[in-house]
Chain A
Amino acid sequence: MSEWREANGESSDSPFAVLVIGLGNPLRGDDGVGPRVVQELHRRGLPEGVTALDVGTGGLDLLRVLEGRKHVVLVDAADVGREPGQFVRFRPDQARLVFAGDRLSLHHAGLGEVLALADALGRALPEMVIFGVQPAEVAWGEGLSPAVEATLPILIDAVLEEINSKQRATSDE
């Protein structure tokens, strides 16, 4: 059992279980938006059956976190071609994530690489929704830019609504 699951005392067996993952490095400006959302969710109190993990820049180990999960909501800074602070909700099959197939260093392995690896290995992944947040700046420094900071309340509401709809859909089944 992964230490994250143990640390959170959570059962991923429940059909209502939803895992929220924040990816990114809080020391790199807006790259820290994922971990920040996780932090805010913990501060507000998580809905029942929901786990929120700051997976940081765990690289390919993310595969380990995803395996065996049913529903995952993932928040990551991403160049989604919008104005800084705007975000896009999408499923992995709705986007072609750019991954550094030939120039992979492990510190750089992100979501694109993990999904590509899972695909190449034919691994079953959870049902996944990604919130890609357009950063204003990804550079050394703590704290989010004003544009991304301003979008946080709407982003967190959207994440909570996503969790709700997943749990509603499960209970209707």
Chain B
Amino acid sequence: MNINVHHVTRVEGHGNIVVDTKNGEIKECRFEVVEAPRFFEAFVRGRPYYELSHITSRICGICSVGHATASLRATEKALGVEPSEQTVLLRKLNFHGEMIDSHVLHTYYLVAPDFLGVGSVIPLAATHRPVVERALKIKKLSGDLCALIGGRHTHPCAMAVGGFTHLPTEAELRDMRARFVDARTDMDETVALFATLPWPEFERETEYVSLKKDDEYAYIDGTVVTSDGFSYPIEDYRKVTNEECVSFSTAKWTHHNRDSYMVGALARLNNNFDQLHPRAMEAAAKLGLKPIVTNPFLNSAAQVVEMVHCIEDGIEIIDELLTRGVQPEEPPAVDLKAGEGAGSCDVPRGILFHNYVYDEGGRCVSANCIIPTNQNMANLNADMKELVPQIMDKPQDEIRLMLEMLVRAYDPCISCSAHFLTVEFV
């Protein structure tokens, strides 16, 4: 058997699945990232501190808020800037908007067609119109939230070092709150839909890596923890990522305590389950998720749980902002000094690190960005190697679909890791 999926579809970016077996033995089994490197770490060298979040936000059109937030945290730590409580709340809210936006896109547009027997969201609109209408409605809500807080849907222009250059009005927040409350019904229907999907049966335990905080389900800041019991301050992220180059991939691989680890919604759910909103926990129960979940296909189900969490937590954040009243704040003045800072956010696809060194004039001397898709590559390859022998007796088309679904379950954003994915049999 020789499967060669040249550019897997319904993922972001370009990657290939290559499987070659002979007499029941695997000769080759790997996922290749064939995107050209993007050189963002080189673009930012020499640029002033206030440009970094805007440049690096362009790494990704789906998680631009995530990149901007991690970037701002790295810069703030390097320059000793402390964001206000209001800024922290607004950033969380903006982040929730992007989390919902990205998860609805992945679960509805990219994953659901596999289970509902259609090739993409377009024929899905013909066969399951209410499903697609719901997806568009949730996507509009999350996009509007990002525009309200960040200044526009994608690539937030209002997020700055230390604060925001534009603030929402209380009336706008109240309007958004009403729409979030209304979205509860959409979330219930989303959970009900995904609870009916026949997720492939496949278990492979691995090490799950995410952020962790004492007081909340962590998305921004905290410590880096692993399900194998390790914990590191964000500054020590390299002890977790241990990047290495592999010959067939332009995305670097990472490993920690084992040969590979997993990041993303499933890793967060496994590590921080008790901090989910009670309604999100109910959703997890309906979807059959109880930590430790070791089926990587269920990463998409974990994303559904996180959507519920972000809607509920979003309502609570808006309530807190309204109770406090939106204060007219300007981003604080920055005292320039040489320094280094590492920022981390757990973005839709998993834990993300930005690390910058600045000179005394506030210009970037060096930068390191480690994105989630890279960190998942070794684990995805390990899953493929374990899955293929289990399904080798199935028809080739079924094997190919299963492998594509596995790749998609990781929600890889290859565009960010290097960029396109295709699958083809030879």
Bound together, the chains give a CA A101 to CA B122 distance in angstroms of 6
Of residues 102 through 120 on chain A, the ones whose CB sits less than 8 Å from some CB of chain B are 102-107, 113, 116-117, 120
What are 22 contact pairs spanning A and B, CB under 8 A? A60-B109, A61-B153, A63-B136, A64-B143, A99-B122, A102-B120, A103-B9, A103-B119, A104-B119, A104-B120, A105-B13, A105-B421, A106-B12, A107-B415, A116-B122, A117-B121, A120-B123, A120-B125, A120-B126, A120-B132, A121-B125, A121-B136
* B119 and A117 contacting across the interface, CB-CB below 8 Å: no
In the bound complex, residues from chain A placing their C-beta under 8 Å from that of B119 are 101-104
* B105 and A113 contacting across the interface, CB-CB below 8 Å: no
A14 is an interface residue with CB less than 8 A from chain B:
no
Partner of A117 from B122, B140, B151 at Cβ < 8 Å: B122
Chain B residue nearest to A140 in the complex (CB): B36
B370 is an interface residue with CB less than 8 A from chain A:
no
B261 is an interface residue with CB less than 8 A from chain A:
no
In the bound complex, residues from chain A placing their C-beta under 8 Å from that of B9 are 102-105
Known: A3-B151, A3-B153, A101-B120. A106 touches B105 (CB 8 A): yes
Bound together, the chains give a CA A137 to CA B50 distance in angstroms of 36
Chain A residue nearest to B419 in the complex (CB): A107
A2 is an interface residue with CB less than 8 A from chain B:
yes
Q: 12 more A-B contacts (CB under 8 A) besides A64-B143, A99-B122?
A: A2-B147, A3-B147, A3-B151, A3-B152, A6-B147, A61-B153, A101-B120, A103-B9, A104-B120, A105-B12, A120-B125, A120-B126
In the bound complex, residues from chain B placing their C-beta under 8 Å from that of A121 are 125, 129, 132-133, 136
A7 is an interface residue with CB less than 8 A from chain B:
yes
Interface size on A, residues (CB 8 A): 23
In the bound complex, residues from chain B placing their C-beta under 8 Å from that of A122 are 129
Highest count of chain B CB atoms <10 Å: which of A6, A100, A103, A113 = A103
Chain B proximity of A103: nearest CB distance (Å): 5
Chain A residue nearest to B125 in the complex (CB): A120
Chain B proximity of A55: nearest CB distance (Å): 11
B257-299 CB contact bits vs A (8 Å, 1 = yes)?
0000000000000000000000000000000000000000000
A87-105 CB contact bits vs B (8 Å, 1 = yes)?
0000000000001111111
Chain B proximity of A1: nearest CB distance (Å): 8
In the bound complex, residues from chain A placing their C-beta under 8 Å from that of B13 are 105, 107
Bound together, the chains give a CA A6 to CA B122 distance in angstroms of 29
Known: A117-B121, A117-B122, A120-B122. A105 touches B420 (CB 8 A): yes
Known: A117-B122, A120-B126, A121-B125. A107 touches B10 (CB 8 A): no
* B415 and A104 contacting across the interface, CB-CB below 8 Å: no
Can you list the 3 inter-chain pairs with the closest CB atoms, starting with the nearest? A102-B119, A120-B125, A104-B120
* B10 and A104 contacting across the interface, CB-CB below 8 Å: yes
In the bound complex, residues from chain B placing their C-beta under 8 Å from that of A102 are 9, 119-120, 123
